[in-house]
Chains A and B, each alone.
Chain A
Amino acid sequence: MQSFSLLSRLWQYLLAFLLIASITAIFFVLRDVLDTTLVALLYLIPLGLITALWGLGPGITSAVITFFTFNYFFIRPYYTFTVHRPADVVILVVFLVVAVVISQLVGRAQAGLAAATAREREATQLYELSTALTGLHDDHAIAQILARQVHAVARGEYVELNVTGTRSFAFHFPETDRPTRPTDLTVPIESARGLLGEIRLWRTAPAVSAGERRLFQTFASQGALALERAWLAQAESRAQVLEESDRLKSAILSSVSHELRTPLSTIKAAASSLRGREVGWDSPARAELIAAIDDEADHLNLLVGNLLDMSRIESGALKPKREWNILSEIVGSVLTRMKYLAEGHQIRVEVPESLPLLPVDYVQMEQVFTNLVSNSLKYAPAKTLVCIRARVEDESIHVQVSNQGPQIPSEDLERIFDKFYRIAAADRVTGTGLGLSICKGIVEAHDGRIWAENLPDGLAFNFTLPVAWDGVKPPQLPMDTEAE
Chain B
Amino acid sequence: MSNAPHILVIDDEPQILRAIRTILTEKQFRVTTASRGEEGLTVAAANQPDLIILDLGLPDMDGVEVCRRLREWTQTPIIILSVRDSERDKVAALDQGADDYLTKPFSIEELLARVRVALRHSARTQGTEAKVVKAGPLTIDLAWHIVKRGDEEVKLTATEYKLLAYLAANHGRVLTHQSILTHVWDPADADHTEYLRVYMRQLRKKLEADPERPQYILTEPGIGYRFIADE
Contacts and interface: CB of A to CB of B under 8 A. Distances in A.
Physical interaction between A and B: yes
Interface of A: 294, 297, 301, 305, 308-309, 312, 321, 323-326, 328-329, 331-333, 335-336, 349, 353, 357, 361-363, 366, 474-475, 477-484
Contacts of B197: 323-326, 329, 357
B193 A484 contact: no
A482 B193 contact: no
B85 interface: yes
Contact of A363 (B160, B161, B213, B221): B221
Interface residues of B, number: 28
A324 B195 CA distance: 9
Given A325-B194, A329-B201, 9 more contacts: A301-B105, A305-B84, A309-B85, A323-B194, A324-B197, A366-B221, A477-B194, A480-B159, A483-B156
B122 interface: no
Interface string B161-173: 1000000000000
Contact of B194 (A294, A324, A332): A324
B193 A363 contact: no
B85 A484 contact: no
Q: Which 10 A-B pairs have the closest CB atoms?
A: A332-B212, A324-B194, A363-B222, A323-B193, A336-B213, A484-B161, A363-B221, A480-B157, A483-B155, A326-B197
B31 to A, nearest CB: 23
B145 A484 contact: yes
B219 interface: yes
A207 B105 CA distance: 78
Contacts of A482: 157-158
Contacts of A336: 213-214
Interface in B138-182: 145, 155-161
Given A323-B193, A477-B194, A294 B107 contact: yes
B230 interface: no
B65 interface: no
Contacts, number: 79
8 contacts: A301-B84, A305-B84, A308-B85, A325-B197, A329-B200, A332-B214, A363-B222, A480-B157
B193 A335 contact: no
B198 interface: yes
Nearest to A474: B194
A237 to B, nearest CB: 32
Contacts of B193: 323-325
A333 B219 contact: yes
A297 B105 contact: yes
B225 to A, nearest CB: 11
Contacts of B194: 323-325, 357, 474-475, 477
Contacts of A363: 85, 87, 221-222
Given A294-B107, A329-B219, A357-B194, A484 B155 contact: yes
Contacts of A353: 201
Given A294-B107, A333-B221, A477-B194, A349 B156 contact: no
B157 A326 contact: no
A145 to B, nearest CB: 47
B221 A349 contact: no
Of listed B85, B156, B160, residue having the most chain A CB within 10 A? B85
B201 to A, nearest CB: 6
A484 B222 contact: no
B201 A326 contact: yes
B135 to A, nearest CB: 16
Contacts of A481: 157
Nearest to A322: B193
B199 to A, nearest CB: 9
A399 to B, nearest CB: 15
Interface string B183-222: 0000000000111011011000000000111100001011
A433 to B, nearest CB: 20
Contacts of B161: 484
A209 B157 CA distance: 91
A477 B195 contact: yes
Interface centre among B87, B156, B160, B213 (most CB of A within 10 A): B213
A250 B159 CA distance: 56
Nearest to B87: A363
A326 B155 contact: no
A329 B157 contact: no
A370 B86 CA distance: 19
Given A324-B193, A325-B197, A481-B157, A335 B219 contact: no
Contacts of A366: 221
Contacts of B211: 332
